[in-house]
Copies of this chain bind each other. A is one copy, B any other.
Amino acid sequence: MLGNFSYSNPTKLYFGENSLDYLSGELAKYGKNVMLVYGCGSIKKSVLYDKIIKNLKDCGKAVFEDGGVMPNPTVEKLNDGCRIAKDNSVDLILAVGGGSVCDYSKAVSVSAYCGDDPWEKYFIRFEEPTCKIIPVGCVLTMVGTGSEMNGGSVITNHAQKLKIGHVFGDEVFPKFSILNPVLTYTLPKYQMVAGIFDIASHIMEQYFSGTDDNTSDYLAEGLFKSLVESSLVAVKEPENYEARSNIMWIATWALNTLIAKGKTTDWEVHMLGQAVGAHTDATHGMTLSAVSLPYYKYILPYGVNKFKRFAINVWGVNPAGKDDKAVALEGLKEMEKWMKKLGVALSLSELGVKAGDIEGIADSTLVMDGGYKILDRAGIVEVLKASL
């Protein structure tokens, strides 16, 4: 049942092959000082970097570069970024990259002026920002996290072996995001399919919770079916515009709050994946794919109806003559076949995790409400062992 909630999403999206044409119009809305944030530097070899720099210069901006954002942005990097933003009185943070770059930029935007230790304030105490927030704009080059249209930000603290996300309110959402599917063509297949599974996981973690079927569940099924269709094209034809553009659009809508409205959610797969990420630095989407099937098999007996619905509505399983649990399990079997076709990690061993790491990962795993079965310590260990 749709409960009480509010909905507001202020991010303006420009989508398509020509979407970068709208950057200068957005830049005109902000002051002179722009912090240009990017990742490992491969962007510097691309024509995109030159185009963006030209855009910024044509708009008369002073550019302060902050490259080297790592796949799992660290608390040390965040502190460095805050210094750059504050020392240069930055008026806009322009994030050019994937989810990590967007996440990091949002973290800087709420941390530069917070007057506190941002890790402690936002990621340990989960407080909301009360300081000046620097506006963020995104030019997306990778797909999966949905960070381009939400308030989420995940930061890793290696010293504490913690990778924690804070979902900020809509004042922290990017002001604009530029989504050009063509920019995603050159991403290595490993990163592409990891991103695709990240999207799938976002949908499932909002879907597999609650006893009432509502409109959000129907929307989630639509997104999932579209993702399955387009992903199977994209792994064979990475430059298929239709497939890549659908995947990009699905990613945005899978995690911009819409499909969670009026229902409970269960983010335990992300908690498990983030714990694995904090210990291994493995690619985010692969940490999710490695633990998903064991997790869902573990909780399935407590939410058979929803898993049955998933099997029928998403995977086209024919329920005739089968009991509910068999139908439900057949859906997960179909999902496993799809995951194999994509080539995502199906075990933690593939990500370098050893049996001896399990207890440490379990220590780092936060337990979330909302699931059909809330994991206890033994449950976490059992799911992680089954994922090895």
Q: Is the CB of A242 within 8 A of B212?
A: yes
Taking CB atoms, residues of chain B closer than 8 Å to A2 are: 15-16, 181, 242, 245-246, 248-249
A241 at the interface (CB under 8 A from B): yes
Residue contact A18 to B4, C-beta cutoff 8 Å: yes
Complexed CA–CA distance, A261 and B252 (Å): 13
How many chain copies does the complex carry?
2
Contact assessment for B215 and A219 in the assembled complex, using a CB-CB cutoff below 8 Å: no
| Interface pair A242/B4, CB less than 8 Å apart | no
Beta-carbon contacts under 8 Å, A2-34 to B: 2-19, 22
Contact of A22 with B1 in the complex, beta carbons under 8 Å: no
Task: State in angstroms the CA–CA spacing of A218 and B13 once bound together.
Answer: 20
| A242→B223 contact, CB < 8 A | no
Contacts of A10 in B (CB 8 A): 10
Residues of B within 8 Å of A250, CB to CB, are 215
Looking at A11, A17, A212, A215, the one whose CB has the most chain B CB atoms below 10 A away is A215
The distance in angstroms between the C-alpha atoms of A8 and B6, with both chains bound, is: 17
Cα distance A241–B214 when bound, in Å?
A: 12
Which residue of B6, B215, B221, B246 contacts A13 across the interface (Cβ within 8 Å)?
B6
Residue A225 at the chain B interface, CB threshold 8 Å: yes
Q: A226 touches which one: B215, B241, B245 (CB < 8 A)?
A: B215
Q: A215-B226, A222-B221 are in contact. Are A19 and B1 (CB under 8 A)?
A: no
A242→B221 CA distance, assembly (Å): 19
Cα distance A253–B212 when bound, in Å? 20
Query: Which chain B residue has the least Cβ–Cβ distance from A225?
Result: B218
Q: Is A19 a contact partner of B7 (Cβ separation < 8 A)? A: no
Contact of A16 among B3, B220, B242 (CB under 8 A): B3
**Interface pair A6/B1, CB less than 8 Å apart:** no
Task: Give A199 Cβ to nearest chain B Cβ, in Å.
Answer: 11
Instruction: Give the distance in Å from the alpha carbon of A12 to the alpha carbon of B221 in the complex.
Output: 25
Instruction: For A258, list chain B residues within 8 Å (CB).
Output: 253
Cross-chain contact A15 with B4 (CB below 8 angstroms): yes
Contacts of A303 in B (CB 8 A): none
Cα–Cα, bound, A245→B212 (Å): 13
Complex interface bits, A248-264 against B, C-beta within 8 A gives 1, otherwise 0: 11100100001001100
- Alpha-carbon separation in the docked complex, A15 to B3 (Å): 8
Contacts of A19 in B (CB 8 A): 4
**What is the CB-to-nearest-CB distance from A269 to chain B, in angstroms, rounded to a whole number?**
22
The interface residues of chain B lying within 8 Å CB-to-CB of A15 are: 2, 4-7, 261-262
Segment 235-291 of A: residues with Cβ below 8 Å from B: 241-242, 245-246, 248-250, 253, 258, 261-262
Max chain B Cβ within 10 angstroms of own Cβ: one of A13, A19, A258: A13
Q: Are B4 and A16 in contact (CB under 8 A)?
A: yes
Report Cα–Cα, A35/B230, bound state, in Å: 49
Q: Which residue of B4, B9, B16, B230 contacts A5 across the interface (Cβ within 8 Å)?
A: B16
Additional A-B contact list (8), CB under 8 Å, known A2-B245, A7-B12, A215-B226: A2-B15, A4-B18, A6-B15, A215-B250, A215-B253, A218-B222, A218-B226, A219-B219
Top 10 nearest A-B pairs (CB, nearest first) are A4-B16, A222-B222, A218-B222, A2-B245, A218-B226, A8-B12, A7-B13, A1-B242, A215-B226, A219-B222
Write 17 A-B pairs (CB below 8 A) sorted by A numbering. A1-B242, A2-B181, A2-B242, A2-B248, A4-B17, A4-B19, A6-B13, A7-B13, A10-B10, A214-B226, A214-B242, A214-B249, A215-B223, A215-B226, A215-B253, A218-B226, A222-B222
Chain A residues at the B interface, C-beta cutoff of 8 Å: 1-19, 22, 181, 212-215, 218-223, 225-226, 229-230, 241-242, 245-246, 248-250, 253, 258, 261-262
